[in-house]
């Protein structure tokens, strides 16, 4: 079951990243702004890569493994 969830998450993440990248290209008016828009997107994505596991670790530490991972109601 976990493998299916991880697989679906990876697939959805790949599609979402492609959609966001194309939305940036469609949204930016002048070509000079594209570099800044891509840099902002990369910075936000990088922060999410750092903050996500940090938040997960804090939840695990505060709530315990079973509640932090959501396996108990």
Specify the residue for token string 């976990």: 2
CA–CA distance, 55 with 21 (Å, rounded to integer): 26
pLDDT tens digits, residue range 13-39?
A: 899 988 988 999 899 989 889 999 999
pLDDT of 37: 92
pLDDT mean over 43-64: 89
- In the three-class reduction of DSSP (H, G, I as helix; E, B as strand; rest coil), residue 20 is classed as helix
Share of the chain above pLDDT 70, in %: 92
Is the confidence at residue 2, as pLDDT, over 80?
no
From 12, 40, 34, select the one nearest 22 (Cα to Cα): 34
User: What is the residue extent of each domain of the chain?
Assistant: 2-68
Q: Per-residue confidence at 73, pLDDT binned at 50, 70, 90?
A: low
């Amino acid at each position: 079951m976990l493998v299916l969830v991880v697989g679906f998450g990876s697939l959805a993440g790949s599609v979402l990243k492609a959609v966001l990248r194309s939305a940036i290209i469609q949204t930016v008016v002048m070509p000079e702004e594209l570099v800044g828009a891509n840099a902002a997107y990369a910075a936000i994505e990088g922060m999410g890569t750092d903050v996500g596991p940090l938040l997960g670790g804090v939840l695990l530490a505060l709530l315990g493994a079973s509640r932090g991972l959501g396996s108990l109601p």
